[in-house]
Structure 1
Amino acid sequence: MTRSALPALFISHGSPDTVIADTAAAAWMRGLAADLPRPRAIVVASAHFEVSGGVAVSADPAPETVHDFGGFAPELYRIEYPAPGEPELARRIAGDLEAAGLAARALEKHGFDHGVWAPLKLIYPEADIPVVALSVDPNGGPEHHFRVGKALAGLGREGVLVIGSGSFTHNLRAAFPALRAGRRHLDVPDWVSGFTGWMEAKLADGAVDALLDYRERAPFAVENHPTDEHLLPLYVAMGAAGERFAATRMHDSSDFGVLSMAMWRFEPALAETPAV
């Protein structure tokens, strides 16, 4: 039986408590698996797995669930995501990254941070698919992460689902007042919608140069991403679809007014689809 190719995804994982919250994004993630071929493995580039100067790939056969946050409901700290790792795939990915001219290493004894397990708990709650975590470089910028993604392009044809897990907007200072008050459903301010509208248009156009230079070209870029580690996984997902990609927005909602929970699907542009 021929395995269907998988797209690459960008998931806005939101606040850690999204996994137990009654939000539109959480409900959408719970239904996502039904719209995808079942992957044989999952690779997640997480905004919370930060490594400078290269790419780290988790190669632990049984990663632990890391509760890398504080101040949330006690039930959140009891959640486990016991998916197995896949060391062989991790080592292969590290090798592919090195072949692409990127410093990379397989890393043992590294657990799943909430950028990995929180969305997967909603999408694949059985935790029965092997998962490999991939780091982002907080100093690497979009172009580096696009290169990382391109080194993974082709995994989708092998039944491996590549996910970039971050946030389409991520200004926590602006979100904290509403977060503390538990006010999730607020109007989206113009400085957020101006940024997301620009990003959506460039993604739909496949405007790679503009997207890689978003920090200079996008309106309100720094206001929405004071630091850009939560947007960098988007570029991994973009690259994993190939040099030329087709982007489709799968979901759009907001949390606390200022956190865009937009979710994107990336596939090779038609010109790159091989003939059969």
Structure 2
Amino acid sequence: MTHSSKTLMPALFLSHGSPDTAIADTDAAAWLKQLAAELPRPRAIVVASAHFEVTGSVAVSADPHPETIHDFGGFAPELYAIQYPAPGDPALAQRIATDLQAAGFSARAVARRGFDHGVWVPLKLAYPEADIPVVSVSVDPAQGPEHHFKLGQALAGLGADGVLVIGSGSFTHNLGEAFKALRSGQRQLAVPGWVQQFADWMNDKIAAGDIAALLDYRRLAPFAAQNHPTDEHLLPLFVALGAAGEAGRAQLVHDSAEFGVLAMTMWRFDKARIAAAA
């Protein structure tokens, strides 16, 4: 498929969930499997992953052939056999690093950075052919939402070039509570009130486009610290919000929960349309 300069990609926030989402029969996995059918085919995909953590700067993966990283333990052997052999895009990685530097970030293209499960789990489901170039962008656990929103804003121009920007994290992410549920062997558990209230608040603010409240979610949202004892898994949301650019339209595209405490909420952010005469 060819791509014209008129191809305009949305930005997405995807909750990637437990690593075994890649092989599990869940509502979230089923939705990810049909995601590609709802979008124009991207010429490349850029993923800001909660599992690519770099402090003090932004790293952009520039390997031509990134390896698949199995950065987890205790799961089924078949999960460790999964490979996602999508190519990288060194030229795009360097462009992103340059754009980030121009926006005031300390940024660099880096070698020997493969696809962590925040990258390959959703992409294995959405784009199983692994034939679209993929570049990873790091999050900084020492920085908050505003830093990552501005990072996303620096990537906003990519959508007009047919590049799909994805923030891959988790809408809620209390690992201690999730592991308790995981050990129970029950994936379908009741959603606790403290999870539902947080998710409802976040969804309301996203739908309303209330960026100021979202950037201050840690102070304003109910049970924020309980849902995100550390917030690296929510930071990709702010990258996706920023990447949507001005006058973006937010659409809640999937909403389920696993193990009770893992909200698998996913959002699509569409940019303002390009004028037909452009």
Q: Out of 124, 135, 138, which is 2:138 matched to?
A: 135
Amino acid at match of 2:218: R
Task: State yes or no: 1:47 paired with 2:32.
Answer: no
* CA-CA distance at 1:116 after TM superposition: 0.4
Task: State yes or no: 1:79 paired with 2:82.
Answer: yes
Task: State yes or no: 1:160 paired with 2:168.
Answer: no
* Offset from partner CA, 1:111-143 (integer Å, 9 cap, x none): 110000111000000000000000000011000
Deviates more, 1:235-244 or 1:8-17: 235-244
Task: State yes or no: 1:206 paired with 2:193.
Answer: no
Give SS of 1:47's match.
strand
Give the equivalent residue in structure 2 for 1:99.
102
Q: Out of 26, 32, 37, which is 1:34 matched to?
A: 37
Give SS of 1:14's match.
coil
Give the equivalent residue in structure 2 for 1:252.
255
* CA-CA distance at 1:216 after TM superposition: 0.2
* CA-CA distance at 1:157 after TM superposition: 1.1
- Residues 1-276 of structure 1 aligned to structure 2 (within 5 Å): 2=4, 3-268=6-271, 272-276=272-276
Amino acid at match of 2:98: G
- On the 8 A contact 1:206/1:244 being kept in 2, the answer is no
* CA-CA distance at 1:4 after TM superposition: 2.6
Structure 2 CA distance for aligned equivalents of residues 274 and 163 of structure 1: 20
Amino acid at match of 2:209: G
Structure 1 CA distance for aligned equivalents of residues 200 and 257 of structure 2: 13
Amino acid at match of 1:153: A
* Offset from partner CA, 1:177-220 (integer Å, 9 cap, x none): 21112211011111001000000110011001100000000000
Structure 2 CA distance for aligned equivalents of residues 139 and 248 of structure 1: 29
Query: How many residues are matched?
Result: 273
**Structure 2: which 5+ residue stretches go unaligned?**
none
Give SS of 2:109's match.
strand
- On the 8 A contact 1:41/1:159 being kept in 2, the answer is yes
Give SS of 2:167's match.
strand
Structure 2 CA distance for aligned equivalents of residues 217 and 275 of structure 1: 38
Give SS of 1:201's match.
helix
- On the 8 A contact 1:247/1:267 being kept in 2, the answer is yes
**Structure 1: which 5+ residue stretches go unaligned?**
none
Amino acid at match of 1:275: A
Give SS of 2:157's match.
coil
Deviates more, 1:71-80 or 1:177-186: 177-186
* CA-CA distance at 1:38 after TM superposition: 0.3
Give SS of 1:265's match.
strand
Structure 2 CA distance for aligned equivalents of residues 245 and 130 of structure 1: 25
* CA-CA distance at 1:274 after TM superposition: 4.3
Structure 2 CA distance for aligned equivalents of residues 96 and 124 of structure 1: 27
Structure 1 CA distance for aligned equivalents of residues 256 and 250 of structure 2: 17
* TM-score for the superposition, normalised by structure 1: 0.97
Structure 2 CA distance for aligned equivalents of residues 242 and 108 of structure 1: 29
Structure 1 CA distance for aligned equivalents of residues 258 and 106 of structure 2: 36
Q: Percent identity?
A: 70
- On the 8 A contact 1:44/1:131 being kept in 2, the answer is yes
